[in-house]
Amino acid sequence: MCPDDLTTQLKAEAQRLGFDLTGATSAVEPPRIGAFQQWLADGFAGQMEYIPGRAAAYKHPKHVLEGTRSLLMLAMAYRTEDPAEPAAGQGQIARYAWGTDYHDLIRKRLHTLADFHRELTPGAAVRGVVDTAPLLEREFAELAGLGWVGKNTLLLNRQLGSWFLLAALLTSETLVYDEPLTTGYCGTCRACIDACPTGAIVEPYRLDSRKCISYLTIELREPIPPELRESIGPRIFGCDLCQDACPFNHHPLPTAEPVFQPRPNSNPIGLAELLRLDDAAFRQRFRRSPLLRAKRRGLLCQAAYALGNRPDRNSLLALIEGLRDSDPAVQEACAWALERYDSEESQAMLI
Ligand code: SF4
Ligand code: SF4
C-alpha cells in the first residue's frame, strides 16, 4: 500500500476510534533533546527516576520500536464540565482524573489501530504507546502539526486548548508527514506563569517538577515538604491552574467519551471521608481511577494538608482520628493540619 493511502486510512480509523487529532511525522532525533537532557541534568525530574533511568532511549523512537520510520501522533480530548469550586471540607482533583483511568481505554484503541495497520500492511512493525514509553510525545505531536508547546510546557491546540491526552502509533512504514506549525501562539501572554502558585514554571517553557503540585501530589513518594504544603491549597491530586489560566482553554470542544465523565463525588471531593478510608476501602473506592496512583498514604496526607490550608470545623473529628492512623505519615499530616486550627479542642489533642 502506498504511503498516501496508508496514512489516509490510518487517520480515518484513528478518528473512528475516537482520537480527536491525528498527525504524522518521521522518526527523528527530537529537535529539543538537548533541552530535555539539560532539564534532567538540573534535577528537574525530581524523584521520577524512570525518566533519567532511560535517558538514552529518548534520543530516538527506534528505542521504543526497532525500525520505526514514522509516528502517527494522536490526541484525545478529555474536557467535560466546568470545575466546581470546593466548599469548606472539600478538595480539588485535576480534571483528567475525574473519570475512569484512561490508560486502558487508549491502550485498547491503540491495539485496534495497530491490528488495522497490520491488516493493511502485513509484516509491518507497529506499536502503540501512551505515557509510559521513553518518547517525547509532546515534541513529536508538535512535529506532526497537532499544536505547539506553550510556555507552561503543555501542548496547545487552537480548538482543544490543552485539555487532551497524547498517544502515538509507531510504525516501520513510511507515512505522508504533516507540517508542524510555523509559529506558536503564546506571544506575550504569561498567564500560566503568573497563575502558578509555586513558581514551578521557572521560565517560559521550563518546568521544575519538584515545585509542581502535580508532581508533589502524584509522583513524590514521600510526604510533601512542610514549606510547600500551603501552596497546594485545596488540591489533593494534580493541578489545573496553569491550564485554567490559558486563554486557549476557555472555550474548547468538550469530549463525548463516557470514560472522562466525572464519577460521583470525584471533584470536589469530601476530605473527611477520605481520611476515614482504610486500605481496603481506599482500593475499592478508587478502583480503576487515576487516583489510585497516589496510594492511600499520599491521598490521605494531601487531604489533611488541604484541611490545614482551609480549616473546616466539620472535618475536625476526622483529623483528630487521623492522629491514630496506622500510617505515621498520615498521623504527621493530621497533626500538621490541626496546628492550623485555632480551636481549643484541636490544640488539646496535640498536647
Ligand atoms: S500544574 Fe500547577 S503547580 Fe504545576 S506548573 Fe501548572 S500551575 Fe504550577
Ligand atoms: S497561558 Fe498564555 S503563555 Fe501560557 S501556555 Fe497559554 S497562551 Fe501560552
Judgement on whether residues 187 and 283 belong to the same structural domain of the protein: no
Residues 203 and 162 in one domain: yes
pLDDT of residue 256: 83
258/279 same-domain check: no
CATH number at residue 328: 1.25.10
pLDDT digits (tens, 9 = 90+) for 153-211: 999 999 999 999 999 999 999 999 999 998 999 999 999 999 999 999 999 999 999 99
**pTM for the model:** 0.93
Q: Inform me whether the pLDDT recorded for 238 exceeds 70.
A: yes
Pocket of ligand 1 (CB under 6 A): 152, 195-196, 198, 200-201, 207, 212-214, 239, 241-242
| Ligand 2 pocket mutation, candidates 149, 153, 162, 189, criterion most atoms within 8 A of CB | 189
pLDDT at 209: 97
Q: How far apart are CA 187 and CA 165, in angstroms?
A: 24
Q: How many domains is the chain partitioned into structurally?
A: 2
Kindly identify the ligand whose nearest atom is closest to the C-alpha of 250.
Answer: 2
Same domain, 263 and 294: no
From 237, 267, 297, the end of a domain falls on 267
What is the chain's mean pLDDT, rounded? 94
Q: Do 332 and 194 have their domain in common?
A: no
- Rounded Cα distance between 5 and 203, Å, is 43
Enumerate the active-site residues: 131
88 and 182 share one domain: yes
Count CB neighbours of 343 within 10 A.
12
Question: Do residue 300 and residue 262 come from a single domain?
Answer: no
The string of pLDDT tens digits covering residues 77-98 is 999 887 778 999 999 999 999 9
**Does residue 296 share a domain with residue 220?**
no
pLDDT tens-digit series, residues 259-278: 999 988 888 999 999 999 99
Residue nearest to atom 5 of ligand 2 (CA): 150
Environment class of 43 (CB within 10 Å of its CB; exposed 0-12, middle 13-18, buried 19+): exposed
Q: How far apart are CA 244 and CA 179, in angstroms?
A: 28
Q: Are residues 226 and 335 in the same domain?
A: no
- Write out the H or E segment, with its range, that includes residue 157: none
Q: Are residues 254 and 274 in the same domain?
A: no
- Asked if residue 61 has pLDDT above 70, the reply is yes
| Cis before 226 (ω within 30) | no
- Of 267, 288, 310, the one marking the end of a domain is 267
pLDDT(109) > 80: yes
Is the same domain home to 26 and 82?
yes
Cα 211 from Cα 216, distance rounded (Å): 7
The range of the structural domain enclosing residue 324 comes to 270-351
50, three cell numbers: 524512570
Domain boundary among 239, 267, 295: 267
Both 69 and 174 in a single domain? yes
pLDDT > 90: percent of the chain? 87
Question: Is the pLDDT assigned to residue 49 strictly greater than 80?
Answer: yes
CB of residue 248 inside a 6 A radius of ligand 2: yes
